Amino acid sequence: MGQIRLGIIGCGIAARELHWPALKTMGDTFRITAVCNHTEPKAQEFAELVGGIPYVLDYRDLIARDDIDAVSIMLPFELNCRVTEDALKTGKHVMVEKPLATDIETSEKMIALCEKYHPLVMMVAENFRYRPLYRRVKVLIDEGRIGNTYGIIWNFFTDVGTGANRKYVSTKWRFEEVYTGGFLIDGGVHITAVLRDLFGEITSVNALTASVNPEAGRFDTMNTQFTMKSGALCSLNQFYSARGVRFNSIHIFGDAGSMLVDNDASKITIMEREKPEYSETTDEERGYVGEYEDFHNAIRTGTPVVSSFHQAYADLKALLAALDSAKTGAVVRID
Ligand code: NAP
């Protein structure tokens, strides 16, 4: 299927460390024809990294080019709405990094773009929706391997104040109070995406927040109780300043067995009464390749994308409701 000429807007961590490594394994499907970053050293360095291509400092100069069919937007996400709409106005297909927006009002503006600019393709780069690990978990659950799911506990512990993680703390836009939530939203939407894909809609939420390391934003710790439409209970612990520990697991409890998903090792273990443990490991990450394959396919064939603006809106809404609950102390229902 035909090659898509891609423009990249935002040459930071996501572009360098996540998107480019995926794109360069994808043969002829995409060709990056120009990149943009508002500060020149980053624009220049990334343009060289991806093959010595042209760069611009103003995204409007990039979207005006006629050698670009689609753009991939990887900016501080308070810019997502404006840059997405400007790109659509010039007839470009858009993939934009998660979270969809900073708040409900802006998310609704993004949703309105879907109708206004149809049939241009719009999708959110939610790589977790394409991870083989979660797709395999879904198959096993749907096959009834642990029976009916009644409980989920997701523990995500990391320390953003140390080691390689510090690069995220150094992107100050994550904490400048342009939007609520800091890491709790930035990282949390990956988790609500998976919860919703695996277990259906979230109907209510109550949550508590704490601040451990002020350098990691106003709140870096949250305990959230979600109720799923199926009736299953879900407890999510997002601890971004957990000293000396990195742990990311999902325990899923069914009436016939239990499942442990080790997110870092891409390993699934199923435990049942009086039976030997069963485990399997899936391919590593591959979510970024998956999202670009979906983008390509949607542009070339018109097939709807998996990671739509509507899905990303619902992922974000659940977390914003959790923050609201933590603030007010009330259980928040989600439509
Ligand atoms: P980042 O390193 O700060 O990258 C953003 C880039 O945009 C920076 O290079 C910044 O340049 C540039 N920029 C800012 N304003 C601009 C403007 N008006 N015009 C052009 N360039 C501009 O942040 P990041 O970590 O890559 O995050 C970017 C997005 O990717 C966020 O939405 C984030 O949530 C997402 N992300 C997703 C994942 C994932 O796993 N899917 C992981 C990481 C990030 P300066 O730094 O010079 O200001």
Res 1: pLDDT: 58
Lowest-pLDDT range of 84-88, 161-165, 209-213: 161-165
Give CA–CA dist 321/204, Å, rounded.
Answer: 8
Res 165: pLDDT: 77
Give CA–CA dist 251/245, Å, rounded.
Answer: 18
103-122 pLDDT, tens digit per residue, is 999 999 999 999 999 999 99
Centre of ligand 1 from the C-alpha of residue 40, in Å: 14
Report whether 12 contacts 5 (CB < 8 A): no
Report whether 67 contacts 58 (CB < 8 A): no
237-258 pLDDT, tens digit per residue, is 999 999 999 999 999 999 999 9
Q: Which atom of ligand 1 is nearest to the CA of 171?
A: 3
Q: Where in the chain do CATH 3.30.360.10 domains reside?
A: 129-287+317-333
pLDDT above 90 (res 307) = yes
- 132: Cβ–Cβ under 8 A, 6 or more apart, which residues? 266, 282, 283, 286, 290
What is the number of other CB atoms lying within 10 angstroms of the CB of residue 115?
Answer: 7
- Asked whether the CA dihedral 252, 236, 102, 79 is positive or negative, the reply is negative
Lowest-pLDDT range of 46-55, 168-177, 200-209, 306-315: 168-177
Which of 140, 133, 129, 130 is closest to 259 using CA atoms?
140
Q: State which of 75, 79, 169 you would mutate to test the pocket of ligand 1, scoring each by most atoms of that ligand within 8 A of its C-beta.
A: 75
Res 29: pLDDT: 96
Amino acid at 269: T
Give CA–CA dist 290/127, Å, rounded.
Answer: 7
128-174 pLDDT, tens digit per residue, is 999 999 999 999 999 999 999 999 999 999 999 888 878 888 888 88
Q: Where in the chain do CATH 3.40.50.720 domains reside?
A: 4-125
Report whether 255 contacts 101 (CB < 8 A): no
Angle between helices 309-328 and 188-199 (to 10 degrees): 110
Centre of ligand 1 from the C-alpha of residue 171, in Å: 8
Instruction: Return the CATH architecture of domain 4-125.
Output: 3-Layer(aba) Sandwich (3.40)
- Asked whether the CA dihedral 251, 254, 258, 262 is positive or negative, the reply is negative
Res 36: pLDDT: 98
Superfamily grouping for domain 129-287+317-333: Dihydrodipicolinate Reductase; domain 2 (3.30.360.10)
Report whether 259 contacts 270 (CB < 8 A): yes
Nearest protein CA to atom 35 of ligand 1, as residue: 97
Centre of ligand 1 from the C-alpha of residue 10, in Å: 5
Centre of ligand 1 from the C-alpha of residue 194, in Å: 23
- 114: Cβ–Cβ under 8 A, 6 or more apart, which residues? 122, 308, 309, 310
Residues with CB under 6 A from ligand 1: 10-14, 18, 36-39, 42, 59, 74-77, 79, 97-98, 125, 127, 171, 186
Which of 41, 42, 90, 82 is closest to 62 using CA atoms?
90
Mean per-residue pLDDT, 213-237 = 94
pLDDT above 80 (res 176) = no
Res 181: pLDDT: 86
Report whether 322 contacts 227 (CB < 8 A): no
Q: Quickly state the pLDDT bin for 224 (edges 50, 70, 90).
A: very high
Nearest protein CA to atom 1 of ligand 1, as residue: 12
Res 273: pLDDT: 94
Centre of ligand 1 from the C-alpha of residue 14, in Å: 6
Average predicted confidence (pLDDT) for the chain:
95
Give CA–CA dist 162/265, Å, rounded.
Answer: 21
